[in-house]
Amino acid sequence: MASAALICDTEQWKGLQAHIGAIQKTHLRDLMGDADRCNAMTAEYEGIFLDYSRQRATGETMGKLFKLAEAANLKEKIEKMFRGDKINSTENRSVLHVALRAPRDTVINSDRVNVVPEVWGVKDKIKQFSETFRSGSWVGATGKALTNVVSVGIGGSFLGPLFVHTALQTDPEAAKYAEGRQLRFLANVDPVDVARSIKDLDPETTLVVVVSKTFTTAETMLNARTLKEWIISSLGPHAVAKHMIAVSTNLKLVEEFGIDPNNAFAFWDWVGGRYSVCSAVGVLPLSLQYGFPIVQKFLEGASSIDDHFRSSPFEKNIPVLLGLLSVWNVSFLGYPARAILPYSQALEKFAPHIQQLSMESNGKGVFIDGVQLPFETGEIDFGEPGTNGQHSFYQLIHQGRVIPCDFIGVIKSQQPVYLKGETVSNHDELMSNFFAQPDALAYGKTPEQLHSEKVPESLIAHKTFQGNRPSLSLLLPSLSAYEIGQLLAIYEHRIAVQGFIWGINSFDQWGVELGKSLASQVRKTLHASRVEGKPVLGFNSSTSSLLTRYLTAEPSTPYNATVLPKV
Ligand SMILES: O=P(O)(O)OC[C@H]1O[C@H](O)[C@H](O)[C@@H](O)[C@@H]1O
């Protein structure tokens, strides 16, 4: 198929390629000596401060990246997203997660229908339901109020809500509203995850929320049937109506599953799974745990970044700057990975969410029109909160492979601690590392420095840090529901910017289909072997012998009666 315009064929792309040599001659040690450059390489919005001076880039690089953005029609593509154009072309869908957090009076059309009133209709229903639930008026089958929620879902129906829940858990305001309640998640089809999710819970006081955009995902549906059985075996079949609710775009299947349609919360096919945390997928379980007003603050934070992203000039636009720098690192400097390093334990589930958001969005091999990509896209995202990561994989980042790092810090801790007499407060101790690590990466340590420190000759080579390792620092004023929403939206838009520049569709995920269909072939074989004693057929010799080994051993459970976890 002939391609409209491959970004790599543009003068602007070639200009950046020609510029790589100049950057390869620089060292961050020198670049950081230029205070004007450092001041220029910052951006701020509502107290969120981005410092990207430790990127391997100069003013000239940035100028060229902005030109590349023009060549890629970035401004127009952002507008198309906000306008509800069907930019997810392979699925013929709008991409409107921004509508999920838009103020009530906004007009955003998909298929010429304003979707904002529908969004608010569901939010109003969640607000009302969560108030009834939290007040204790919603009672279970035995007349008791429900205080525990298990949210069953996987991928986008799990990772975003888990990230937000984990971040809110230690926010004093949110925590106050969650007193005496539990929110847990069940994602993996591994029965061990079932056991963990219901350990020490009583079905009498538990509400199960089944979250699935399609309501066909194998793992989620089996887990939902398992928890349904857990409820029924303890409380009887009539209990399902009071103990199970659902979030889905497929309300017909929700009803067929046996959940009361009045207790189903809708969303729409113009919300991608991994972009769905601001839909009922996240808003419902989080409102049950923290109350709707806290969740509304989270949505307002995300919405504030939507405004910033749509209207700020690229030079001051945090998601655009981040997206362009990622393109520079991946496609020009050849760095395949990015480490996400939040200096806040509250953000411990941020990297797992970004893994899906980024890698499922931009892990693509073809342009939007199907032409094979002649350059690398996508990034391998991974991360751990600092300082845990420092005592784990930072060795590789300092002296092994070059991995651009995102340092995310918070000025005001959610949980301040200071011990009288200590040099610094506990949060200042944490943040000392946030400020130190980027410079260690950028500057490194030269043999000359080591000599002057009288390091033994035999250790000089081992102790030399080449430095010149890029990072950026994002400093948030605090970490309340509002900033958690802002952080989420910054990364959502950053990832979209990358896809817009590369010319790929960041909103489909055909690559995950093949594994699913092969698993279905294996599932049939396991059943036929276990139940009818049929031989393993139709696989290559490696898979056949692995399957045979698995099937000839004592099974973990016989197939003649229901078995539920014992823990
Ligand atoms: O919400 P569901 O329809 O159950 O989908 C859950 C997940 O399924 C697949 O793995 C998709 O690749 C993900 O994008 C999606 O989030």
- Residue-wise pLDDT tens digits, 501-510: 999 999 999 9
Gap from CA of 216 to ligand 1 centroid (Å):
9
Query: Which residue carries 């690229």 as its tokens?
Result: 314
Q: 144, 252, 391, 451: which is the annotated catalytic residue? A: 391
The answer, yes or no, to whether residue 513 has pLDDT greater than 90, is no
Query: Each residue of 122-177: pLDDT tens digit?
Result: 999 999 999 999 999 999 999 999 999 999 999 999 999 999 999 999 999 999 99
Give the mean pLDDT of 187-208: 98
The preferred substitution site among 162, 213, 274 for testing ligand 1, maximizing ligand atoms within 8 Å of CB, is 213
Do residues 434 and 49 touch, judged by C-beta distance below 8 A?
Answer: no
- Average pLDDT score over residue span 390-398: 95
Give pLDDT, residue 1: 40
Digit-coded pLDDT (tens) for 452-464: 999 999 999 999 9
The dihedral sign for the CA sequence 474, 479, 484, 485? negative
pLDDT at 4: 59
Q: Among the options 144, 516, 524, 527, which is catalytic?
A: 516
What's the average model confidence in pLDDT over 51-79? 98
The answer to whether residue 520 scores a pLDDT higher than 80 is yes
Which own/partner contact pairs does 380-384 have at CB distance under 8 Å and 24+ positions apart?
Answer: 380/336, 380/337, 380/338, 381/337, 381/338, 381/340, 381/351, 381/354, 381/355, 382/337, 382/339, 382/340, 382/351, 382/355, 383/339, 383/340, 383/341, 383/342, 383/350, 383/351, 383/354, 384/341, 384/348, 384/351
Model confidence band, residue 3 (pLDDT cutoffs 50, 70, 90): very low
Looking from the CA of residue 509, the nearest atom of ligand 1 is 12
Closest by Cα among 222, 84, 106, 97 to 160? 97
* Ligand 1 centre distance from Cα of residue 217 (Å): 7
Is residue 422 classed exposed, middle or buried when 0-12, 13-18 and 19+ CB atoms within 10 A define those classes? exposed
For ligand 1, which residues put their CB under 6 angstroms from it? 154-157, 212-214, 217, 220, 273-274, 360, 509, 512
Sorted by sequence, the CB contacts under 8 Å of residue 170 that are 6+ apart come out as 345, 346, 414, 415
For residues 342 and 381, give the distance between their C-alpha atoms in angstroms, rounded to a whole number.
Answer: 13
Q: Whose CA is nearest to atom 7 of ligand 1?
A: 155
Instruction: Using alpha carbons, select from 237, 250, 162, 150 the residue that is nearest to residue 200.
Output: 150
Confirm if 308 and 485 have CB atoms less than 8 A apart. Answer: no
Question: 9-18, 119-128, 359-368, 471-480 — which is least confidently predicted?
Answer: 359-368
Does this model's pTM top 0.95?
Answer: yes
Q: Which of 219, 360, 483, 492 is the catalytic position?
A: 360
> How far is Cα 79 from Cα 97, in angstroms, rounded to an integer?
14
Average pLDDT over residues 231-248: 97
How large is the average pLDDT for residues 271-298? 98
* CB-side neighbour CA atoms (13 Å) of 327: 29
Amino acid at 262: N
Q: What is the secondary structure of 103-165 as a DSSP string? A: -TT---EETTEE-HHHHHHHHHHHHHHHHHHHHT-SB-TTSPBP-EEEEE--GGGTHHHHHHH
Ligand 1 atom 8, closest CA: 155
pLDDT band of residue 515 (cuts 50, 70, 90) is confident
State in Å: Cα 354 to ligand 1 middle: 15
Phi-psi region of 386 (alpha: psi -120 to 50; beta: other; left: phi over 0): beta
**Closest ligand 1 atom to Cα of 155:** 16
Closest ligand 1 atom to 211 CA: 1
353: which residues sit within 8 A by CB, 6+ positions away? 159, 160, 162, 163, 277, 488
Q: Assess whether pLDDT exceeds 90 at residue 450.
A: yes
Let me know if 391 is a catalytic residue. yes
Choose which residue among 356, 359, 361, 509 to substitute to test ligand 1 binding: the one with the highest number of ligand atoms within 8 A of its C-beta: 509
Question: What per-residue confidence (pLDDT) applies to 2?
Answer: 43
Number of alpha carbons in the 13 Å side-chain half-sphere of residue 403: 22
Q: Which atom of ligand 1 is nearest to the CA of 512?
A: 12
Q: Which residue has the least CA distance to atom 4 on ligand 1?
A: 212
pLDDT confidence band for 41 (50 / 70 / 90): very high
Pocket test for ligand 1, best of 215, 284, 512, 513 (most atoms within 8 A of CB): 512
Q: Is 49 helix (H, G, I), strand (E, B) or coil?
A: strand
- Mean pLDDT in residue range 280-293: 98
Phi, psi of 416 (to 5 degrees): -65, 140
3 vs 81, residue with greater confidence: 81
Q: Which atom belonging to ligand 1 lies closest to the Cα atom of 273?
A: 16
Query: Is it the case that residue 88 has pLDDT exceeding 90?
Result: yes
Q: What is the DSSP letter of 263?
A: G
| Average predicted confidence (pLDDT) for the chain | 96
Residue at token pair 């549906």: 221
Q: 219 C-alpha to center of ligand 1: Å?
A: 10
Decide: residue 227, CB within 10 A, 0-12 exposed, 13-18 middle, 19+ buried: buried
pLDDT classification of 516: cutoffs 50, 70, 90: confident
108 touches 99 (CB < 8 A):
yes
Q: How far is the CA of 157 from the centre of ligand 1 (A)?
A: 7
From the list 300, 302, 313, 316, the residue with the least C-alpha distance to 49 is: 316
Euclidean distance between CA atoms 217 and 97, whole angstroms: 21
Name the residue of 97, 154, 356, 358 to mutate for ligand 1: max ligand atoms within 8 A of Cβ: 154
Residue in the structure block whose two tokens are 């209207």: 311
Q: Cα dihedral angle (546, 153, 268, 148), rounded to 10 degrees?
A: 170
Residue 247 near residue 209, CB atoms below 8 Å: yes
Are 263 and 245 within 8 A, CB to CB?
yes
